């Protein structure tokens, strides 16, 4: 997978896994990493799927309707890429914190839905529920920040509440942060995520 790795100043800190939204790339979220933890290593990945020339992490059938088969395949692909990257760049595979926006947040959530050891924690900006009707692994000890907009046309409020409930029922500690916004990512939401990270990670 196309990616950027930047070694941090402190190897005991988590590696921040950056996952962009639809049409983004591995450069998009780099400014967020510095706001969350300026001493951490950063692994920023580009999605392997193209939708009309726009990079994504998995295919969708329509707005808000995921191609479930492709989602499962791409989730495994990213999980295995993290295994390889940890060896290549000598970082702790068990100490990865994902920071994802929209489509990137969805693939991060999907990893937590499918693997108990994929991520130590996740900052999910405007995610959706990746899959329904499946049993989640034991996520005890995992921490999740969900950033949501009260007027988000792509991700309704009920979706954010449902994702929080599913993750909590699997044992994760979840903080749901609301902004009176739509689907866009605001400075206030990033600041809230940074404060949450410093308190919990």
Catalytic residues: 102, 152, 183
Half-sphere exposure of 150 (CA within 13 A, CB side): 3
DSSP code, position 136: P
- Spatial contact of 139 and 165, defined as CB atoms under 8 Å apart: no
* Helix and strand numbers, DSSP H then E, in the chain: 5, 11
Bridge partners, 121 (sequence order): 97, 143
Give the C-alpha separation, 93 to 15, whole Å.
8
Please give the angle made by the CA atoms of 134, 135 and 137, to the nearest 5 degrees.
Answer: 130
Count of residues making up the chain: 201
Angle between helices 103-114 and 68-89 (to 10 degrees): 80
**CA of 114: how far to CAs of 72, 82, 90, 137, 174, in Å?**
8, 14, 24, 7, 17
Structure tokens at 107: 């693939």
């Amino acid at each position: 997978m196309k990616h950027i790795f930047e070694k941090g100043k402190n190897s005991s800190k988590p590696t921040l896994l950056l996952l962009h939204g639809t049409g983004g790339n591995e450069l998009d979220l780099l400014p967020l990493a510095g706001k969350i933890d300026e001493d951490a290593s950063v692994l920023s990945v580009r999605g392997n799927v193209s939708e009309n020339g726009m990079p994504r992490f998995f295919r969708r059938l329509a707005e808000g309707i995921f191609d479930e088969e492709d989602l499962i395949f791409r989730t495994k692909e990213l999980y295995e890429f993290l295994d390889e990257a940890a060896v290549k760049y000598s970082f702790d595979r068990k100490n990865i914190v994902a920071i994802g926006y929209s489509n990137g947040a969805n693939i991060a959530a999907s990893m937590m839905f499918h693997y108990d050891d994929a991520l130590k924690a996740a900052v999910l900006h405007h995610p959706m529920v990746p899959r329904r009707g499946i049993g989640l692994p034991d996520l005890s000890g995992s921490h999740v920040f969900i950033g949501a907009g009260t007027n988000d046309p792509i991700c309704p409020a009920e979706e954010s509440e449902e994702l929080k409930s599913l993750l909590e029922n699997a044992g994760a500690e979840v903080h749901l942060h609301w902004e009176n916004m739509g689907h866009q990512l605001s400075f206030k939401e990033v600041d809230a995520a940074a404060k949450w990270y410093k308190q919990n990670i």
